[in-house]
Amino acid sequence: MSNISRKEFIELTGLSLAVLLIPSCLSSCKKSNPTPSNNQTIDFTVSVSSGALSQNGGYIVQNGVIVARTNTGAFIAVAVACTHEGTAVRYVAASNSFSCPNHGAKFDASGNVTAGPATTALKKYNTSLSGTDLRVYS
């Protein structure tokens, strides 16, 4: 029967713990990204009779989409997650554009990049108003 030293025991168990913990960190340490995948179908309806969309310049975020009411009363919708690193963009009514608070990327009302570091447009969604129900869809 062999005896192992205390030092050997700690080294062996420490290595075992490290081997056990590495896979869990790899899976849980991944960056989360709220962007709906480009293939995901978007189709939902929101009421514009109350809340932020009842007023020009207001916006909401739902199902990974930012829906805004421009200062002229039109509705626009694009993916909310910045194409740079996934931060939620904000609607800027004064310039009818979207801005990322993380690194400063800017997008026009159609989601096209107007300032980096993002290089890819935000996915644009269709909107259709029926009474006070706004349909947002891909």
CA distances from 121 to 37, 73, 90 (A): 14, 23, 15
Among 4-12, 29-37, 49-57, 96-104, which window interacts with ligand FES (CB under 6 A)? 96-104
Answer yes or no whether residue 102 interacts with ligand FES by CB under 6 A.
Answer: yes
Structure tokens at 24: 């869990």
Query: Whose Cβ is closer to ligand FES: residue 40's or residue 120's?
Result: 120
Structure tokens at 85: 């690193």
Answer yes or no whether residue 57 interacts with ligand FES by CB under 6 A.
Answer: no
Q: Which of 70, 87, 114, 138 binds ligand FES (CB under 6 A)?
A: 87
Answer yes or no whether residue 84 interacts with ligand FES by CB under 6 A.
Answer: yes
Structure tokens at 115: 């300032």
Residues 6 or more apart whose CB falls under 8 angstroms from that of 90 comprise 59, 66, 98, 99, 100, 101
Query: Whose Cβ is closer to ligand FES: residue 87's or residue 137's?
Result: 87
Answer yes or no whether residue 105 interacts with ligand FES by CB under 6 A.
Answer: yes
- Given a contact cutoff of 8 angstroms between Cβ atoms, the answer to whether 48 and 37 are in contact is no
Interacting residues with ligand FES (CB under 6 A): 82, 84-85, 87, 100, 102-105, 117-118
